[in-house]
Amino acid sequence: MKSNKLKLNLQLFTDGGDGGNGEPEVITFANQSELDSWKDKQLAKSLETAKAKWETESAAKLEEAKTEAERMAKMTADEKAAAEAKNQADELAKREADITRRELKAQSLEKLAEKGLPSELIDAVVLTDADTCNSSIESISTAFSKAVEKAVNEKLKDSAEIPGSIANPSGNNNPWSKDSFNLTEQGRILREDPERAKLLQQTAIK
């Protein structure tokens, strides 16, 4: 009578050797149901082994991550302390710079007034330190005087009411000049041409 038993080569499911006899181990099952049951058990066993391995590795990684987090937390605290110290130093330097700037601005406004220059020119003054500040005021004064002279000469060139020009060292016909001072003429020019009056005033200061 032919046997209906199922045979299975276990070597297909294991990493082991041949048991030392050179032949793979063979297990026999009475039917397909018994074989399926055996496969299910083997699969469950493999899954359990894999799960245990995963849990072990996960625990190790979790511990490593925890250690790294603690290390990073400590580093962050150190960095915060360093940043705090830097912020305090920067704030102190900024306050000192602001004080210096205010002092230089006040001094510069006085010097601009002494030179007869508009206070609006303070925005062009470099207020970093005293030497740079003084140097910039001199440069501004020179440039402003040249600009005024050019503007007045161009204005007078087209004016029949005020002959002469800035080039005239005597200052003739400039009612604000020392040699031609005239309040009546000043009043007339101020009424009729305020812009020219301002230019003549600047010229008379030279």
- Segment 42-57 shows an average pLDDT of 90
Name the β-bridge partners of 9. 26
Residue 45 lies inside a defined structural domain of this protein: no
Residue 46 lies inside a defined structural domain of this protein: no
Q: Residue 171: its pLDDT value, please?
A: 44
Which helix or strand (DSSP H or E) is residue 152 part of?
A: helix 130-157
Widest CA span in the chain: 150
Question: What band does 89 get if pLDDT is binned at 50, 70 and 90?
Answer: very high
The predicted model scores a pTM of 0.38
Residues 6+ apart with CB under 8 A from 165: 152, 153, 156, 157
Q: Residue 163: its pLDDT value, please?
A: 46
> What is the number of structural domains in the chain?
1
Task: Dump pLDDT digits (tens) for 103-142.
Answer: 999 999 999 898 888 888 899 898 888 899 999 999 998 8
CB 6 within 8 A of CB 31: yes
Residue 170 lies inside a defined structural domain of this protein: yes
Residue 75 lies inside a defined structural domain of this protein: no
Question: What band does 166 get if pLDDT is binned at 50, 70 and 90?
Answer: very low
Q: How far apart are CA 92 and CA 42, in angstroms?
A: 74
Bridge-based pairing of strands 26-29 and 6-9 is: antiparallel
- Segment 151-169 shows an average pLDDT of 56
Residue 159 lies inside a defined structural domain of this protein: yes
- Tell me which residue has tokens 């009043």: 187
Q: Residue 157: its pLDDT value, please?
A: 67
Q: How far apart are CA 107 and CA 101, in angstroms?
A: 10
Q: Residue 32: its pLDDT value, please?
A: 81
Q: How far apart are CA 203 and CA 185, in angstroms?
A: 16
Worst-scoring range by mean pLDDT, 46-50, 73-77, 82-86, 164-168? Answer: 164-168
Residue 138 lies inside a defined structural domain of this protein: yes
Residue 130 lies inside a defined structural domain of this protein: yes
Which helix or strand (DSSP H or E) is residue 61 part of?
A: helix 32-114
Q: How far apart are CA 13 and CA 30, in angstroms?
A: 19
Q: Residue 54: its pLDDT value, please?
A: 92
Task: Dump pLDDT digits (tens) for 12-30.
Answer: 555 544 545 555 566 777 7
Residue 80: is its pLDDT beyond 80?
no
In terms of Cβ atoms closer than 10 Å to its own Cβ (0-12, 13-18, 19+), residue 204 is middle
Question: What band does 1 get if pLDDT is binned at 50, 70 and 90?
Answer: very low
The amino acid at residue 28 is T
Residue 177: is its pLDDT beyond 90?
no
Domain membership of residue 163 as a residue range = 124-205
Worst-scoring range by mean pLDDT, 69-78, 117-126, 161-170? Answer: 161-170
Name the β-bridge partners of 124. none
Residue 70 lies inside a defined structural domain of this protein: no
